Structure 1
């Protein structure tokens, strides 16, 4: 029973670290401030 809990908790920790790692690098690569510079917002509708 303890092995099952350890496996599930370990798997959740590994998934969490992978998610944080991915979001950290995607957050750097997909900088939202670049959007205004590349495609400026029009002044009139």
Structure 2
């Protein structure tokens, strides 16, 4: 029973680390300030 809990918790930790790693590098690559520089917001509607 302990092995099952250890496996599930370990797997959840690995998934969490992979998600944090992915979001960290996507956040750096997809800089939202670039969008305003490339395609400026129109002044009038």
CA distance in 1, matches of 2:42, 2:13: 45
1:5 matched residue in structure 2 = 5
Q: Which residue of 1 aligns with 2:41?
A: 41
4+ residue runs over 3 A deviation: none
Using the size of structure 2 for normalisation, the TM-score is 0.98
Q: Which consecutive unaligned segments of at least 5 residues does structure 1 have?
A: none
- RMSD over aligned Cα atoms: 0.3
Gaps of 5+ in 2: none
